[in-house]
Structure 1
């Protein structure tokens, strides 16, 4: 007995150590992998270049900079666009159109940093972009074209729209009215708050820079995708704003030298999301607009254009090219940390070759300064010897050698020599090459922290293995878990496998459950045809439906899936399945509260809760995708609750869930108190057989209430998946009752189903798959805590459901083992007490076994992802594939494992064991 206690204590300590090391390893590694980059301080000033007298005169003195969030290039340039007036400006030559390439991550904050500084932002800005209260990413101390326009002292800076600008540039704007960028349910007010300020500002003459950032189009994309019925209407609204501003520039004297820029910060994919590197996400529109441009172009541009699969229309430029181009057009020095190149289409504004040469030379010198600071050398200060250029020792040296040709060209241009009409092309090509080199330097990795984080991760694996070998019995059950963990770890070193990770989980889950089903048949006395028809085929069919429900990843994202092929074209069938899911949930709720509250209260209360949840989802879908709402749902249920807002509907559901949860918790505590009272004195105890089932059933109240929450936070088309979850749950329950499933095997099943359900509901390893459509249910103002929780539940609704279900199934295993133990025990009082004590220890060991399974896999996954990010840190896809995977690894390890599996699961298990 003493050795058993020592072994249990040792396994517990190892398990605690492993779970403490997981967040430590993650934090240490992240600080080395996502550091802030060193930047050149101060504001740039004009440099006196040899042979030039002074900078050329700028053609503009005011700037209106209009950002339409998620303005994908085809939204402006193609036949189906609502930007008809803007297209007329392109045809007239008053608008010069481009497709601006937005590098990953394609989310607002890093894109605004690239646009305003001309540099490549840190990938860590993806995380900072989600926290509206964060100020650590401020650009107040950095050189940007906003700082340069403010330093000119020719007018005030005003801003209306996305308050990300206020966070990036605190104290910069003289007048501002910010709106939160994450309240994606709002399509109209968030833009009206911007537009209402425009007429007054166009009449004012005290500003030189006006920033407008519209969010409605991005919100429509998140809610309904690029083909939402609201999309063209919103485009027409934005086109009307363009017309209003352009006409003011044409007619008002104080605006005649105003440059009007319209652009998107990023695009969106076919699901309406963004953050990754698909063509749609990285191809926003960019237009420079002014009546002065009408005589600039040699030939007018056609508009609209036919659709293009790569979303590239007209010339393609980098977003960072905006900074040096605005510097030339508005007359200020290029920001110090810029990596952009002056867009050559604008050179012809300056008729003198010396002016054009100055602008290109200034751009080159500024980038050379950045390169010298990054390389720690003074490569460009003097001509390199011929021997060095014959075999350059670094990319910097090669670039310096190649500079000699463009340098000579610029020298000829500034002294007025006769030049080839294409003389600027070699200089522009050199700028592009320098841009590519510096942009490719993704980060200044801290190798010590990377290695230290991996050492901590390896220790986590060792401790996890030690705990698992002492906890999981029989030891042979550990083999499939190790096979899954090792295979998954190997897969992390291939970008294609990371992008298509869902196939690993689908295949592994089907294989594992097929194995369990066949093993169960061999151990039972059931005839094979009956077992095949009633168990194996329904189970494997359910898993196949799970796999085909949504297509995620990159390669197969556009292929047909059940949602797109059957449910969306047949909304009646969709709502039949949705209704069936809610009816099943209602039945489970009523059953779990049966005997705890009177029937006259139970049935109406649960009916009201489920009806509130269903009508909210119907009203939500009517706003989100009205084409999916059938007349019956609209005319019967929604008319019954007409007038209620979505926020009020969602709050009614959450309040109902809160009250029911409080009641459920009360029943658990009350029943445990009654049981204690029935036991009487310490020497007169009831057997666990009499009170165990009641305690376990009480926890199912919380399981069914969470199901209602999960349905509320899931997309309508994903709601029927919970029917498939319940079928699989029934199979696991049956395997437990027949004695065919151990605790460790239940843990492996739960692990597989958590990951498989995440991908089946549309998740992936791309930032763009983060679904914000349900992040603001019941929320009227931004709250990082509330929105964070709702976002997590919305994206991990399936995995969390399986954690809650697994805890209930653990109680089922305990009762099964308890009955077996009690059947062998004597009925004398002393024997009964000893059994209770022994079973109490066994009960605590159940959850520890489950946590050991989850911890071991988590440790392997964290160590593997860290190793892949380190080894492949110079890989082409480090920022588009491996870095997002690391962020998802953090979410799975800290959020799903530590918070949900260990924290929430432990709390529920403790409640069930009271």
Structure 2
């Protein structure tokens, strides 16, 4: 959407357009009331406007097109139907003579890039298909009389990086192709262009223009006024179409005057209405005044050209250079910053840091636990002021996670009685190997995006091995589900029910992969599992999984509430005075352990949801998560891990898992492939939740797991208390069981997460404010700010505090 705005209006889109682009139902960014070349072509009244392809055009220009057939651009798994829907309309439209503008927006190449990158096996066949479309249209222009004056423009609204994504600032993403085709343009070629050219890392091959230049160029070629908000410059190579110098000067003068009108409106001055004094130009007081001074030379040249004076053959160069300078100035000032609000927000963020520090010092008693948290927070904050570190943030988390867990492993060895070789073989080596797998699973960021990783080197070339790991992950999830419901549901019901749920989830993922990347589906999966549910649509499969998860979750919640009442009744009878001796009874179930086991049901059910919303190649990562989780579990049982240290571990693993699963600080890395699972019509709430879970699946998994481990810490401390305290202290134990010590655990965990969140928000806000004129403010720092919002509001407040607090409350209900 932002690029389409630039192409049609000639203006610079705002960063808000990038955010609204993710909301398929948004209509607030409509261009129906703005001046665009589409509006100018409609106003000419020489024919109808038709459009086929990406339905973003229909949202941007409601009521503009007389014939249209839109296709949603967010079902990125579809490489064929989105294009066939366009191509099938071309022959008929080429025969029609009632239109003056036809938009054909193909999505297949974009979808292939998102799914498999520029080297996907689907890429070359799709490019050849597009070549055939171009050839078909050009032959029609050459042979059909009513198309003889047609201008055929082939362009991309964006490129892609080595991972197939776009939205950042790499050359591949910001260098889409632009081609003007017409038999009438053959005379402009002064020399034959070689094709193909050798590869170039910067993708600069022939000549380079801005996307906004398309608007004034089309205005000149097709004979309509330049859109009012245009900041583009007429592409000078087309000037030779008009043999008379006076016509060329007129077009350039119209382009310059139109931009001057925009500058005057932006500056609130009438700088270009009269000649400036020589003294003013000697020391201009503003960029606008300097631009007005620079205009005097090109203005005189245009006056001479328009009256036919004999001037330098390169007379147009100073004018085009001035247009470029004006374009750069206005593009750089496209955003107005309210400094008072920026400063107010920064002050609020610093206050949050102070309160976070105060809360952390109160909740974390050990300096040894607070120090590493402060080191992580401060180092991360400093890193936010460097664009390269923001782009490659994943390395910070990988290094911090490996260092922290290496320290925990070494400390555990020192406190244990085991030998070093045994500890190295059974604990340290598997743990550090698991963290190394996390780091190497998906290459992300900017510099190394698309380079070899575990997915590209081992899983995609060996789909049998991939499905073995995927199957192993689902088997492990099935075992955990059956175990967590054991004793609550009869075995004849428990095992078949959990098996059906896991099989539904697995077959959905297999069917989804068959549609998304059929080359990854091995015959065994296709024949033995997909044939079992042949005929079911992806939407029906996904809904079956979600319904099963919903029913199982409702059952789990019911067991938690039932056990809460049962345990409460037992506890009441236990503490009531007894008038006479009672027969010996078995000891009642304790509140903590029973509830923790029940909440584990919800943890295992979320695992199924996380697998459903993850890419197939990322599913085996949950085996790695389980290995690290087992290490934390053992460290808690041996008394080596405090609540604050568990919080630090969770913080590191939440971020490390996000990047390990392919996330980055670029808008282009937002994975939308699972955003429509089970959804037939767009819903901002449902699609938003599914998108969040799909991108933060690992991070949310660690939040749920951390809550369960907090219960484990409480039970460990209770066992220690029971061994140390006498009967006189049982009253204090009862008081703690009623909630005092339990809430203290969760408060400590929240204090850890809040302190880091406060530091990160303050640092990102400060970086965006201080570096607001930085070259990469819109491509690096602004996307990072959006991710900061997602982490602080979504992950911290909603997931850590909200969902985590709910699960923790259920343990001690």
After TM superposition, the score normalised by the length of structure 1 is: 0.84
Q: Secondary structure at the match of 1:900?
A: helix
Check the 8 A contact 1:224/1:624 in 2, yes or no.
no
Residue 839 of structure 1 deviates from its aligned partner by 5.0
Partner Cα distance (2:241, 2:645) in 1:
72
Check the 8 A contact 2:591/2:812 in 1, yes or no.
no
Q: Secondary structure at the match of 1:681?
A: helix
Partner Cα distance (2:497, 2:198) in 1:
56
Q: Unaligned stretches of 5+ in structure 2?
A: 576-583
Q: Secondary structure at the match of 2:590?
A: helix
Residue 608 of structure 1 deviates from its aligned partner by 2.4
Cα–Cα, structure 1 residues 289 and 819, in superposed 2: closer, same or farther, change >3 Å? Answer: same
Q: Secondary structure at the match of 1:317?
A: coil
Check the 8 A contact 2:163/2:449 in 1, yes or no.
no
Partner Cα distance (2:226, 2:805) in 1:
57
Q: Secondary structure at the match of 1:341?
A: coil
User: Is 225-234 or 902-911 further displaced after alignment?
Assistant: 225-234
Residue 817 of structure 1 deviates from its aligned partner by 1.5
Residue 826 of structure 1 deviates from its aligned partner by 4.7
Check the 8 A contact 1:274/1:281 in 2, yes or no.
yes
Check the 8 A contact 2:153/2:180 in 1, yes or no.
yes
Partner Cα distance (2:646, 2:208) in 1:
53
Partner Cα distance (1:783, 1:234) in 2:
31
Residue 148 of structure 1 deviates from its aligned partner by 1.7
User: Is 150-159 or 192-201 further displaced after alignment?
Assistant: 192-201
Aligned position for 1:711: 611
Partner Cα distance (1:650, 1:301) in 2:
52
Q: Unaligned stretches of 5+ in structure 1?
A: 1-108
Residue 827 of structure 1 deviates from its aligned partner by 5.1
Q: Map Cα deviations across residues 266-317 of structure 1 (whole Å, 9 max, x no partner).
A: 1222222221122221122222222222333233333444443333332221
Aligned position for 1:642: 534
Partner Cα distance (1:143, 1:745) in 2:
58
Check the 8 A contact 2:32/2:61 in 1, yes or no.
yes
Check the 8 A contact 2:167/2:779 in 1, yes or no.
no
Partner Cα distance (1:441, 1:687) in 2:
74
Partner Cα distance (1:744, 1:519) in 2:
16
Check the 8 A contact 1:646/1:777 in 2, yes or no.
yes
Q: Secondary structure at the match of 2:101?
A: strand
Aligned position for 1:196: 88
Aligned position for 2:658: 758
Partner Cα distance (1:688, 1:359) in 2:
91
Q: Secondary structure at the match of 1:774?
A: coil
Question: Superposition pairs for residues 212-227 of structure 1, below 5 Å?
Answer: 212-227=104-119
Residue 564 of structure 1 deviates from its aligned partner by 2.3
Q: Does 2:485 match 1:593?
A: yes
User: Is 242-251 or 604-613 further displaced after alignment?
Assistant: 242-251
Cα–Cα, structure 1 residues 318 and 562, in superposed 2: closer, same or farther, change >3 Å? Answer: same
Residue 445 of structure 1 deviates from its aligned partner by 0.5
The aligned length equals: 804
Check the 8 A contact 1:190/1:216 in 2, yes or no.
yes
Residue 837 of structure 1 deviates from its aligned partner by 4.7
User: Is 489-498 or 800-809 further displaced after alignment?
Assistant: 489-498
Check the 8 A contact 1:228/1:625 in 2, yes or no.
no
Partner Cα distance (1:217, 1:561) in 2:
23
Cα–Cα, structure 1 residues 556 and 270, in superposed 2: closer, same or farther, change >3 Å? Answer: closer
Q: Map Cα deviations across residues 509-528 of structure 1 (whole Å, 9 max, x no partner).
A: 11111221222222222233
Q: Map Cα deviations across residues 672-693 of structure 1 (whole Å, 9 max, x no partner).
A: 2332344455849998863432
Check the 8 A contact 2:470/2:619 in 1, yes or no.
yes
Greater RCO structure (CA 8 Å; 6+ sep): 1
Aligned position for 2:578: none
Cα–Cα, structure 1 residues 326 and 686, in superposed 2: closer, same or farther, change >3 Å? Answer: farther
Partner Cα distance (1:854, 1:416) in 2:
72
Q: Does 2:429 match 1:537?
A: yes
Residue 390 of structure 1 deviates from its aligned partner by 3.4
Cα–Cα, structure 1 residues 771 and 579, in superposed 2: closer, same or farther, change >3 Å? Answer: same
Q: Map Cα deviations across residues 334-361 of structure 1 (whole Å, 9 max, x no partner).
A: 1111111111121111111111111011
Check the 8 A contact 2:141/2:150 in 1, yes or no.
yes
Check the 8 A contact 1:818/1:839 in 2, yes or no.
no
Q: Secondary structure at the match of 1:512?
A: helix
Q: Does 2:275 match 1:275?
A: no
Residue 228 of structure 1 deviates from its aligned partner by 2.8
Check the 8 A contact 1:268/1:280 in 2, yes or no.
yes
Q: Secondary structure at the match of 1:403?
A: helix
Check the 8 A contact 1:273/1:770 in 2, yes or no.
no
Partner Cα distance (1:214, 1:678) in 2:
67
User: Is 470-479 or 140-149 further displaced after alignment?
Assistant: 470-479
Cα–Cα, structure 1 residues 465 and 833, in superposed 2: closer, same or farther, change >3 Å? Answer: closer
Q: Secondary structure at the match of 1:722?
A: helix
When the two chains are superposed, the root-mean-square deviation of aligned CA atoms in Å is 2.4
Cα–Cα, structure 1 residues 687 and 501, in superposed 2: closer, same or farther, change >3 Å? Answer: farther
Check the 8 A contact 1:689/1:819 in 2, yes or no.
no
Residue 731 of structure 1 deviates from its aligned partner by 0.9
